[in-house]
């Protein structure tokens, strides 16, 4: 509280001064109105979540940087420097302020410099209002948020064993049939011997089978027909399944669980797969992205330190001391070192498109506005990445309004063009489409074309060229 | 009765020979290999029996088949630490500057995931325009022949050892020389100066192809040394005497982009170009008037020009048509006055003095010629000659080479080589172990230019910057850094550049200097201060020069040494893209040859026709008793009585490791071998034949002997036909007067670009008679249902202006690199299996026509045969040709599997994964632009030495956005659909219509003269629409009626009428 009193004193002094020196408005007004008071808590919460929450907690716990509980009492420097410290940490440090220097010495080595935040002094006041009076955080709420508990996650099956059982049964059946036939022959011979008839010819199994088939022609024909039909159907299905990888769930070098990250901890898909919005690749996050959280979160809920340890091994991080290695094996202080020769994590690619297909995530996510789930299913309830089946995705329509129901297997060309034929484009959504629309309206043939397109009262991706070969193949 | 008939097993049996009797006693004859093999006891004890072997075989086969069904697991490896500016899948562009000693261009380097993959001009803030050599230079970065670290005495070493060895050598007495190409970098200059100061060394400069006479003339003329700055853009009449300023002479990459600014017919102020030259060059082929001159007459042409302009009446001893041509040029020059410009290519001081005097007489000094001390091409040939002499005397203690390869390109290369062996310590910073470096004591490889920090100053107040676009691939060290380290003042290459421009720079301010950052973004900054004024002419006494030039006597046969647009001085000989790019004039790839006039070849009985099976005759050319054998090539426009041989070939005569593609390959793809078992260079090195004139090499020889040999040699040309043979609808051309008289007529009305009509069997004109007058426009006929592309959505199209196209081939190489077009090598090109998606057709004018045939009583067929022959000095047209993206495409109708279809944006799409390779489409294409992918270029041994994708390093240059096509499909120009898609996506993301000019194909972007314009034809405001509506635009082969989306624009030649 002593600090606060000093601040109030300072504020009083400031108020006095502001009456006399009106020209120094900017800095002085800040002193005049304390940064610790009169902030808007709701706005502060929004700002905090947008700018700070990826590293700081409002509690005393450490996420990727020190927790902010009690900051008002801790802060040992001026309000202006607090604002500057947030807006430009290096700049604040350059002022040579003693308290700031102590912060730098204590924290920067461990957590690195905070990145500069584009917030105004008023924003900081709002954030501080929120930090000082955070609404009660319901820690236990994770249990009923609809996430699959990690213990409930299905174990990843490595191989389908039914084929093996089928083969074993078949072999056993054959053995029984052959021995039964041997017993049958022995018995027949015994009867013949007793009745004085000659012994049965000692035929091989094949010859006997042929004889049996000859005697049961109708049954054998029906069975044969059935087998051929069965073969044709199975063969057709097998061929149609070439290149279909629904359910493909390769084992990964790190047992990453989407459910824990996305569902329980509410990390947005694009926090890690951000390039889906910028590039054709959704991308697998680089290890330094993992470190944004795992610098602080050193123990996982299912695999403990084992799996997270693999990240540390790749990037060169010592969880004991919380520091990175540099190339010489020493502990460095300046964040991930380029020179560390860790083995990168070699993930197994799940969604493999053939080389001759050009697919762009940003086209679909940014322009088309598709949800990730439309193609990938509810990855957030799953463990590692897998290819969701189209049937499964169709069951998610209620959970994710706006999903487009499709019928062809995922990641096949039929599936792509089916969607391009169903998905519609809102011409008013962008000036680009409006321009295209205007061109059609202004042209005689364009008008005809437009009428044809609008027969079903919507403009599909196909009608805008979504079925053109060189949309995807070049 | 017993049958006593006897059957013999053979004649031996009948005659009962001795051998037969011997064998008869043995049921199993001995001495048979099989017997021995079967009798091998060890086989019976083998554990693997025959049956087991078959079982294993069967099992392996089944296993292999099953395993092949399984999709291989694909690894995905993200960055460990992702660089902030890299997003996988998104290209980054960096402004940089290319400089190799002569070509100097501001460029943008496209990188993907940190790999530079494409180089284009920096059109927003840059000066000049990248040419074919600059475009292709990205390949050099990934050359697996690059030195991977420092070398000492022929084996790999470390920087410490090389530095120590150098320090030791520098302590010795004797001349210590740093020999470089023209250094334009202030930082590199500073580091060399520091080095020289510390060690008492001297710095000499040497250019690969010397231009020193023009600098010396300028020094005499205005008193200050420096290369004159020519303003081709504002010149209204340009006369070139042997200077290929559009291709390879001096700062050609800049001149070409400037000259074309004055060549727009629509401006009604089109400049005129007279060319006097020996070998048909790119400049000559684009000249309005071209005159053939023997090398010995170049000086006399200049003298006569001076005489006509200064009014002295001096004709230089010329007479006849040549004098008339000179006088015509002089007339135009006089009319242009200060807007006239004369450039001379011959590296002869007297000739350059006369050329400078002509410009002064025109009043062009200060307007089209400015003497403000450009740093370009500052080589000092006399000092180099002295150095070679001293080296041979043993006076040179140490020699350091940077950016220069005198053992290859010096006129005294042999003397240099013997001298170099006598220098106790020599070092080269070359990135490849080239002819000079391989002979040096040490090799301290410099970074590739794409890996280095650079600052460059060509003149004025502008400093161009170069930045690394990739971490150094190998253990190399920037040359500037090396010189500083050797001077004992180690500094990083980056700090060196920063400190040169701001001595107070410290690494703390590395990222915060916004001025520097924006300079780096733009690729240049201005130093401030005023542009140095054009120096005032002091006046030259050219009388002695005139006397000497007049006295030059030509021999029976004269030789001109020239540079090819693709190879330049030969520094990129190992670049397969450049080797495969056809020469803009001869269309020959992968080779060096002797260009000869038809009349000379016929009188010597040489083959004038080169084709797949028609090989070139080999001739023996002898200069000063030194013979070289090369194939002879019939070059229309070659001055009779002269031959031409290109410089830049014959690289690696000692089998040096300068890149696999630098050596000749045989039909199986292996390197041809010389007698000594070394790989055989391509062509011959003729730098040594340059005549020394006043201490500088002049690239011609006034007396050579050419002898016929009985050898033949295959040449691979992409185009073997020379003329259009009277087909009026391929190339349309007119002269400037005719153009001006009808310039305002509507499209299709002007006499030089009339709509094509076809005769019909109905009375169209209503005169009651059905005759040849009854015709309709081509557009009235159609076999196809129309595609909805006009006015609807986008309609991508292109216009190609034949007036401004110079044939430079920058587009061909850019297309090659952008679209991963396979390099196929000489043998395949010879079989016409070249894969170029776009080519530049070069057509010569013919003297013959059907009208002349009728006049002279020659039959129609015979006339066509005569039309195949070009004129002796033909007018030339360059016509870029690629898929025309016909709206009514004949290829689409014949594809049995619908692999080629039309898009609703006007693109003729090619879907490789559908193509089954019937090649019906290629046969049905009127433009012959579809190429069939005959081989697995990525794996087949035939392409091991030439195809970039066969080298694990070089394949990094491939564009990840374009499929590498598999064998057996047709491929062709896609109008860079990957760029179109990217442009559309960017527009959609921005929620705004596509801005004209933001989507450009690789060829349009690469065109230094902006002859190729790409855009959306449905955008009424677009440049391409404006061009397509221009009355010069037409469709090639309009009568076929395929309605292409590519328009050509009638060539306008700035002549009075077609006859002149």
Architecture of domain B132-205+379-457+461-526 in this structure: 3-Layer(aba) Sandwich (3.40)
pLDDT band at B64; cut points 50, 70, 90: low
- Does A419 score more than 90 pLDDT? yes
Answer yes or no: is A188 within a domain: yes
**Coil, strand or helix at B644:** strand
Interface test with A, best of B790, B883, B988, B1019 (most A CBs within 10 A): B988
User: With the C-alpha atoms ordered A118, A122, A126, A127, is the resulting torsion angle positive or negative?
Assistant: positive
B212-374: CATH topology is: Dimethylsulfoxide Reductase; domain 2 (3.40.228)
Answer yes or no: is A311 within a domain: no
Instruction: Report the 10 Å Cβ neighbour count for B327.
Output: 16
Could you tell me the CA-to-CA distances from B759 to B131, B754, B781, B1030 in Å, in that order? Answer: 45, 15, 11, 26
Tally of domains in chain A: 4
Distance, in Å, from the CA atom of B525 to the CA atom of B680, rounded to the nearest integer, reads 46
Same domain flag for A396 and A447? yes
**B184 within 8 A of B462, measured Cβ to Cβ:** no
Same domain flag for A88 and A53? yes
Across the range A381-399, mean pLDDT stands at 87
Computed over every residue of chain A, the mean pLDDT equals 79
Question: Per residue in B754-773, pLDDT tens?
Answer: 888 888 888 888 888 888 78
Distance, in Å, from the CA atom of A257 to the CA atom of A263, rounded to the nearest integer, reads 10
Q: A436: closest CA among A419, A450, A423, A457?
A: A450
Q: B92: closest CA among B466, B615, B470, B604?
A: B470
CB contact under 8 A, B792 and A468: no
pLDDT band at A398; cut points 50, 70, 90: confident
Distance, in Å, from the CA atom of A212 to the CA atom of B53, rounded to the nearest integer, reads 36
**B594 within 8 A of B619, measured Cβ to Cβ:** yes
Run of H or E including B777: strand B775-777
Which residue among B71, B90, B903 sits closest to A279, beta carbon to beta carbon? B90
Higher pLDDT, A288 or B876: B876
Higher pLDDT, A78 or B580: B580
A449 contacts on B by Cβ (under 8 Å): 788, 792
A362 contacts on B by Cβ (under 8 Å): 985, 989
Q: What six digits make up the tokens of B480? A: 């500037």
Higher pLDDT, A258 or A70: A258
Answer yes or no: is A346 within a domain: no
pLDDT band at B29; cut points 50, 70, 90: low
A338 contacts on B by Cβ (under 8 Å): 81
Please name the residue of chain B whose CA is at the shortest distance from the CA of residue A463: B904
Q: Does A217 touch chain B (CB under 8 A)?
A: no
Which residue among A280, A367, A473 sits closest to B912, beta carbon to beta carbon? A473
B985 contacts on A by Cβ (under 8 Å): 360, 362-363, 367
Question: Per residue in B539-571, pLDDT tens?
Answer: 778 888 889 989 988 888 999 999 999 999 999
Answer yes or no: is A122 within a domain: yes
Minimum mean pLDDT among A118-122, B897-901, B910-914: which range?
A118-122
Q: Does A349 touch chain B (CB under 8 A)?
A: yes
Please name the residue of chain A whose CA is at the shortest distance from the CA of residue B81: A288
CB contact under 8 A, A445 and B788: yes
A277 contacts on B by Cβ (under 8 Å): none
Tell the burial category of A445 from Cβ atoms under 10 Å away from its Cβ (0-12, 13-18, 19+). middle
Distance, in Å, from the CA atom of B676 to the CA atom of A24, rounded to the nearest integer, reads 87
Phi, psi of B860 (to 5 degrees): -65, -50
Interacting residues of A101 by C-beta distance below 8 A, sequence separation 6+: A93
Across the range B622-631, mean pLDDT stands at 92
Q: B281: closest CA among B347, B273, B578?
A: B273
CB contact under 8 A, B903 and A465: yes
Architecture of domain B553-717 in this structure: Beta Barrel (2.40)
B81 contacts on A by Cβ (under 8 Å): 286-288, 315, 336, 338
Same domain flag for A189 and A207? no
β-strands B454-456, B696-698: how paired? Answer: unpaired
- Does A142 score more than 50 pLDDT? no
Please name the residue of chain B whose CA is at the shortest distance from the CA of residue A447: B792
**B277 within 8 A of B217, measured Cβ to Cβ:** no
CB contact under 8 A, B76 and A348: yes
Across the range B445-449, mean pLDDT stands at 94
Please name the residue of chain A whose CA is at the shortest distance from the CA of residue B959: A474
Answer yes or no: is A319 within a domain: no
Architecture of domain B733-1053 in this structure: 2-Layer Sandwich (3.30)
A445 contacts on B by Cβ (under 8 Å): 788, 790-792
Which residue among A287, A429, A474 sits closest to B962, beta carbon to beta carbon? A474
Shortest Cα–Cα distance, A272 to chain B (Å): 12
Please name the residue of chain B whose CA is at the shortest distance from the CA of residue A429: B991
Distance, in Å, from the CA atom of A24 to the CA atom of A5, rounded to the nearest integer, reads 24
CB contact under 8 A, B913 and A354: yes
Residue B600 is predicted with a pLDDT of 93
Please name the residue of chain A whose CA is at the shortest distance from the CA of residue B972: A474
Distance, in Å, from the CA atom of B1021 to the CA atom of B996, rounded to the nearest integer, reads 8
Question: Per residue in B132-190, pLDDT tens?
Answer: 999 999 999 999 999 999 999 988 889 999 999 999 999 888 899 999 999 999 999 99
Across the range B360-377, mean pLDDT stands at 86
Residue B898 is predicted with a pLDDT of 92
Which residue among A362, A433, A443 sits closest to B792, beta carbon to beta carbon? A443
**A1 within 8 A of A72, measured Cβ to Cβ:** no
Interacting residues of A193 by C-beta distance below 8 A, sequence separation 6+: A199
Q: Does A253 touch chain B (CB under 8 A)?
A: no
Q: Does A358 touch chain B (CB under 8 A)?
A: yes
CB contact under 8 A, B912 and A336: no
Answer yes or no: is A289 within a domain: no
Residue A136 is predicted with a pLDDT of 62
β-strands B272-277, B289-292: how paired? Answer: parallel
User: What is the value of pTM for the model shown?
Assistant: 0.82
Minimum mean pLDDT among A23-32, B15-24, B1023-1032: which range?
A23-32
Interface of A with B in 109-168 (CB under 8 A): none
Phi, psi of B856 (to 5 degrees): -90, 5
Sequence ranges of the domains in chain B: 132-205+379-457+461-526, 212-374, 553-717, 733-1053
Rounded to a whole number, what is the distance in angstroms from the first to the last CA of chain A? 69
Of the residues A242, A269, A301, the one at which a domain ends: A242
Distance, in Å, from the CA atom of B323 to the CA atom of B305, rounded to the nearest integer, reads 9
**B698 within 8 A of B347, measured Cβ to Cβ:** yes
Shortest Cα–Cα distance, B74 to chain A (Å): 5
Across the range A365-384, mean pLDDT stands at 88
In DSSP terms, which residues pair with B203 in a beta bridge? B178
Higher pLDDT, A28 or B195: B195
Shortest Cα–Cα distance, A120 to chain B (Å): 22
Same domain flag for A399 and A418? yes
pLDDT winner (highest mean) among A69-78, A335-344, B17-26, B51-60: A69-78
Distance, in Å, from the CA atom of B747 to the CA atom of B754, rounded to the nearest integer, reads 8
CB contact under 8 A, A431 and B991: yes
Q: Does A431 touch chain B (CB under 8 A)?
A: yes
**Complex ipTM tops 0.85:** no
- Does B68 score more than 60 pLDDT? no
Distance, in Å, from the CA atom of B664 to the CA atom of B650, rounded to the nearest integer, reads 10
Which residue among A284, A431, A440 sits closest to B993, beta carbon to beta carbon? A431
Same domain flag for A131 and A66? yes
**Coil, strand or helix at B346:** coil
CA atoms within 13 A on the CB side of A412: 17
Across the range B527-546, mean pLDDT stands at 75
Phi, psi of B152 (to 5 degrees): -130, 125
A430 contacts on B by Cβ (under 8 Å): 988, 991-992
Across the range A139-144, mean pLDDT stands at 44
pLDDT band at B629; cut points 50, 70, 90: very high
Q: Does A395 touch chain B (CB under 8 A)?
A: no
Interacting residues of B280 by C-beta distance below 8 A, sequence separation 6+: B290, B585, B595, B635, B636, B637, B638, B876
Distance, in Å, from the CA atom of B1037 to the CA atom of B729, rounded to the nearest integer, reads 5
Same domain flag for A428 and A455? yes
- Does A180 score more than 50 pLDDT? yes
A363 contacts on B by Cβ (under 8 Å): 985, 988
pLDDT band at B28; cut points 50, 70, 90: low
Quote the DSSP letter at residue B534.
Answer: P
Computed over every residue of chain B, the mean pLDDT equals 88
Minimum mean pLDDT among A217-226, A244-253, B114-123, B319-328: which range?
A244-253
pLDDT band at B219; cut points 50, 70, 90: confident
| Residue A449 structural domain | 361-472
Distance, in Å, from the CA atom of A146 to the CA atom of A465, rounded to the nearest integer, reads 40
pLDDT band at B501; cut points 50, 70, 90: confident
Please name the residue of chain B whose CA is at the shortest distance from the CA of residue A441: B792
CA atoms within 13 A on the CB side of B564: 32
Same domain flag for A389 and A446? yes
Residue A336 is predicted with a pLDDT of 45
Distance, in Å, from the CA atom of A365 to the CA atom of A274, rounded to the nearest integer, reads 11
Answer yes or no: is A153 within a domain: no
A250 contacts on B by Cβ (under 8 Å): 73
B788 contacts on A by Cβ (under 8 Å): 445-446, 449
Shortest Cα–Cα distance, A246 to chain B (Å): 13
Residue B70 is predicted with a pLDDT of 57
Interface test with B, best of A432, A434, A452 (most B CBs within 10 A): A432
pLDDT band at A439; cut points 50, 70, 90: confident
The CATH number for A44's domain is: 1.10.760.10
Residue A141 is predicted with a pLDDT of 42
């Amino acid at each position: 509280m002593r600090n606060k009193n000093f601040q109030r004193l300072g504020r009083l002094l400031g108020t006095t001064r502001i009456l006399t020196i009106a020209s120094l408005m900017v800095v002085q007004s800040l002193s005049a109105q304390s940064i610790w008071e009169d902030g808007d808590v709701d706005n502060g919460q929004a700002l905090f979540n947008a700018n700070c929450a990826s590293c700081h907690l409002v509690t005393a716990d450490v996420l990727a940087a020190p927790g902010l509980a009690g900051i008002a009492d801790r802060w040992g420097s001026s309000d202006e420097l607090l604002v500057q410290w947030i807006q430009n940490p290096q700049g604040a440090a350059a002022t040579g302020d003693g308290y700031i220097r102590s912060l730098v010495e204590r924290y920067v080595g461990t957590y690195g410099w905070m990145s500069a935040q584009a917030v105004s002094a008023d924003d900081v006041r709002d954030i501080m209002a929120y930090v000082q009076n955070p609404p009660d955080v319901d820690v236990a709420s994770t249990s009923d948020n609809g996430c699959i508990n990690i213990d409930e996650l299905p174990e990843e099956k490595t191989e389908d064993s039914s084929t093996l059982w089928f083969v074993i049964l078949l072999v056993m059946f054959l053995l029984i049939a052959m021995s039964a036939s041997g017993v049958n022959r022995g018995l027949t011979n015994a009867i013949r011997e007793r009745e004085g008839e000659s012994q049965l010819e000692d035929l091989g199994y094949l010859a006997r089978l042929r004889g049996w088939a000859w005697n049961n022609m109708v049954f054998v024909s029906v069975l044969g027909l059935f087998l051929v039909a069965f073969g044709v159907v199975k063969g057709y299905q097998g061929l149609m399944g070439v290149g279909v990888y629904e359910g493909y769930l390769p084992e990964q070098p790190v047992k990453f669980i989407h459910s824990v990250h996305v569902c329980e901890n509410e990390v947005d898909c694009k926090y890690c797969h951000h390039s889906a919005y910028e590039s054709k690749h959704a991308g697998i996050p680089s290890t330094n992205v993992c470190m944004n959280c795992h610098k602080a979160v050193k123990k996982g809920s299912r695999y403990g330190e084992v799996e997270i340890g693999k990240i540390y091994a790749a990037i060169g991080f010592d969880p004991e001391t919380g520091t990175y290695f540099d190339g010489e094996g020493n502990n460095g202080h300046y964040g991930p070192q380029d020179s560390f020769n860790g083995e990168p994590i070699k993930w197994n690619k799940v969604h493999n498109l053939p080389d001759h297909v050009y697919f762009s995530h940003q086209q679909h996510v940014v322009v088309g506005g598709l949800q990730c789930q439309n193609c990938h299913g509810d990855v957030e309830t799953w463990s590692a990445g897998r290819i969701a089946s189209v049937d499964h995705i169709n069951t998610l329509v209620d959970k994710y309004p706006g999903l487009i129901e499709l019928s062809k297997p995922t990641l096949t060309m039929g599936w792509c063009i089916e969607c391009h034929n169903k998905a519609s484009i809102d011409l008013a959504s962008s000036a680009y489409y409006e321009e295209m629309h205007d061109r059609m309206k202004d042209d005689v043939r364009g008008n005809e074309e437009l009428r044809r397109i609008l027969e079903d009262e919507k403009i599909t991706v196909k009608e805008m060229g979504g079925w053109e070969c060189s949309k995807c193949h070049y | 009765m017993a049958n006593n008939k006897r059957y013999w097993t053979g004649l031996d049996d009948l005659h009962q020979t001795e051998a037969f009797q011997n064998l008869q006693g043995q049921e199993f004859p001995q001495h048979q290999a099989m017997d021995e093999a079967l009798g091998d006891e060890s086989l019976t004890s083998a554990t693997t029996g025959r049956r087991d072997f078959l079982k294993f075989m069967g099992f392996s086969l089944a296993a292999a088949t099953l395993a092949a069904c399984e999709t291989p697991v694909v690894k995905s490896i993200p960055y460990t630490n992702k660089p902030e500016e890299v997003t996988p899948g998104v290209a980054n562009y960096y402004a940089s500057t290319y400089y190799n000693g002569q070509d100097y261009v501001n460029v943008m380097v496209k990188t993907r995931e940190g790999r530079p993959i494409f180089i284009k001009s920096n059109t927003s803030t840059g000066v000049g325009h990248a040419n074919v050599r600059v475009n292709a230079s990205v390949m050099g970065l990934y050359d697996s022949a690059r030195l991977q670290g420092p070398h000492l005495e022929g084996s790999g070493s470390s920087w410490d050892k090389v530095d120590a060895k150098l320090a030791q050598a520098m302590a010795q007495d004797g001349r210590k020389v740093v020999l470089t190409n023209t250094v334009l970098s202030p930082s590199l200059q500073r580091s060399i100066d520091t080095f020289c100061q510390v060690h008492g060394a001297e710095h000499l400069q040497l250019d690969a192809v010397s231009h020193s006479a023009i600098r010396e003339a300028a020094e005499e003329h205005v008193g200050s040394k420096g290369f004159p700055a020519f303003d081709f853009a504002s010149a209204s009449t340009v006369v070139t005497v042997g200077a290929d300023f559009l291709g390879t002479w001096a700062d050609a990459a800049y001149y070409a982009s400037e000259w074309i600014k004055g060549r727009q017919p629509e401006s009604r102020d089109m400049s005129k170009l007279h060319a006097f030259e020996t070998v048909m060059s790119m400049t000559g082929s684009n000249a309005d008037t071209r005159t053939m001159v023997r090398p010995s007459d170049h000086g006399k042409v200049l003298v006569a020009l001076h005489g006509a302009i200064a009014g002295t009446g001096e004709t230089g001893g010329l007479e006849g048509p040549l004098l008339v041509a000179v006088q015509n040029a002089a007339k135009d020059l006089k009319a242009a006055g200060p807007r006239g410009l004369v450039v001379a290519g011959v590296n002869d001081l007297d000739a350059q003095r006369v050329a400078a005097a002509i410009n002064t007489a025109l009043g062009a000094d200060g307007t089209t010629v400015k003497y403000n001390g450009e740093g370009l091409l500052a080589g000092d040939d006399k000092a180099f000659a002295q150095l070679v002499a001293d080296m041979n005397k043993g006076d040179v203690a140490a020699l350091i080479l940077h950016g220069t390869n005198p053992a290859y390109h010096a006129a005294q290369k042999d003397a240099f080589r013997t001298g170099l062996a006598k220098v106790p310590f020599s070092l080269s910073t070359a990135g490849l172990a080239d002819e000079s470096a391989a002979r040096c004591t040490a090799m301290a490889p410099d970074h590739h230019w794409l890996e280095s920090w650079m600052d460059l100053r060509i003149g004025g107040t502008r400093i161009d910057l170069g930045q690394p676009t990739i971490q150094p691939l190998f253990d190399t060290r920037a040359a500037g850094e090396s010189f500083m380290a050797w001077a004992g003042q180690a500094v990083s290459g980056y700090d060196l550049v920063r400190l040169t421009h701001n001595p107070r720079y410290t690494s703390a301010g590395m990222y915060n200097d916004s001025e520097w950052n924006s300079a780096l973004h733009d690729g240049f900054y201005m130093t401030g201060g005023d542009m140095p004024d054009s120096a005032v002419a002091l006046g030259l006494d050219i009388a002695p020069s005139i006397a000497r030039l007049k006295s030059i006597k030509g021999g029976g046969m004269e030789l001109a040494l020239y540079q090819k647009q693709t190879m330049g001085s030969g520094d990129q000989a190992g670049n397969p893209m450049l080797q495969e790019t056809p020469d803009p004039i001869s269309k020959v790839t992968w080779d060096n040859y002797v260009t000869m006039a038809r009349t000379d070849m016929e009188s010597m009985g040489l083959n004038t026709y080169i084709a797949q099976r028609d090989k070139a005759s080999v001739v023996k050319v002898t200069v000063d008793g030194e013979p070289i054998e090369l194939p002879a090539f019939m070059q229309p426009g070659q001055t009779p009585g002269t031959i031409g041989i290109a410089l830049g070939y014959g690289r690696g005569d000692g089998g040096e490791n300068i890149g696999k593609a630098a050596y000749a390959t045989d039909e199986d793809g292996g390197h041809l071998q010389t007698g000594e078992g070394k790989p055989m260079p391509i062509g011959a090195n003729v730098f040594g034949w340059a005549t020394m004139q006043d201490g500088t090499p002049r690239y011609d020889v006034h007396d050579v002997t050419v002898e016929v040999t009985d050898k033949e040699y295959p040449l691979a040309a992409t185009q073997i036909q020379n003329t259009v043979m009277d087909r009026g609808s391929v190339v349309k051309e007119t002269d400037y007067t005719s153009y001006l008289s009808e310039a305002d007529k509507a499209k299709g009305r002007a006499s030089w670009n009339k709509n094509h009509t076809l005769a019909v069997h109905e009375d169209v004109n209503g005169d009651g008679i059905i005759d040849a007058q009854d015709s309709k426009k081509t557009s009235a006929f159609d076999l196809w249902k129309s595609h909805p592309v006009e006015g609807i959505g986008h309609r991508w199209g292109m216009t190609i202006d034949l007036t401004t196209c110079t044939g430079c081939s920058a587009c061909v190489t850019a297309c090659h690199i952008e679209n991963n077009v396979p390099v196929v090598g000489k043998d395949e090109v010879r079989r016409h299996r070249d894969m170029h998606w776009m080519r530049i057709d070069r057509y010569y004018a013919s003297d013959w026509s059907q009208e002349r045939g009728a006049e002279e009583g020659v039959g129609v067929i015979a006339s066509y045969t005569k039309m195949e022959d070009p004129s002796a000095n033909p007018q030339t047209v360059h016509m870029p040709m690629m898929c025309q993206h016909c709206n009514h495409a004949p290829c689409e109708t014949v594809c049995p599997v619908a692999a080629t279809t039309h898009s609703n944006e006007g693109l003729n799409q090619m879907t490789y994964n559908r193509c089954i390779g019937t090649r019906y489409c290629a046969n049905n294409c009127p433009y012959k632009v579809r190429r069939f992918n005959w081989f697995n270029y990525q794996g087949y041994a035939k392409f091991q030495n030439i195809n970039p994708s066969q080298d694990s390093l070089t394949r990094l240059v491939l564009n990840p956005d374009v499929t590498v096509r598999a064998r057996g499909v047709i491929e062709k120009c896609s109008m860079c659909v990957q760029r179109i898609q990217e442009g559309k996506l960017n527009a959609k993301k921005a929620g705004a219509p596509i801005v004209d000019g933001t989507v450009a194909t690789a060829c349009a972007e690469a065109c230094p003269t902006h002859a190729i314009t790409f855009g959306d034809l449905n955008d009424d405001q677009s440049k391409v629409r404006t061009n397509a509506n221009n009355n010069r635009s037409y469709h090639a082969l309009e009568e076929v009626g395929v309605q292409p989306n590519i328009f050509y624009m009638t060539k306008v030649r700035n002549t009075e009428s077609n006859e002149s």
